[in-house]
């Protein structure tokens, strides 16, 4: 499996950037900005809530038979 990295577009797009890379492995193409909006990334707090990240990732991969979980 080939994984193509990408540069994080802002200092607070950690979750959207890494999620974009992960989703691409599943054949799903979403930009960091799209994911940040869906994940409700908060520029003032400089972060994305784990629960929001997980919910968005699962919305995309569950139809393919996969599930992400917090450990």
The sign of the torsion formed by the CA atoms of 44, 48, 50, 56 equals positive
Exposure on the CB side of residue 60, measured as CA atoms within 13 A: 20
So where are the chain's domains? 14-63
Asked if residue 13 has pLDDT above 90, the reply is yes
Angstrom CA distances, 14 to 20, 62, 65, stand at 10, 22, 25
Percent of residues, the chain, with pLDDT higher than 70: 100
Q: Which of 8, 58, 59, 60 is nearest to 68 (CA)?
A: 58
Mean pLDDT of the 18-44 span = 96
Instruction: Provide the whole-model pTM.
Output: 0.91
């Amino acid at each position: 499996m080939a994984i193509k990295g990408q540069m994080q577009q802002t200092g607070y797009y950690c979750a959207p950037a890494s999620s974009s890379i992960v989703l691409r492995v599943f054949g799903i193409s979403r930009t960091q900005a799209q994911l940040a909006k869906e994940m409700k990334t908060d520029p003032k707090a400089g972060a994305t809530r784990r629960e929001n990240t997980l919910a968005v990732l699962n919305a995309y991969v569950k139809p393919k038979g996969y599930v992400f979980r917090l450990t």
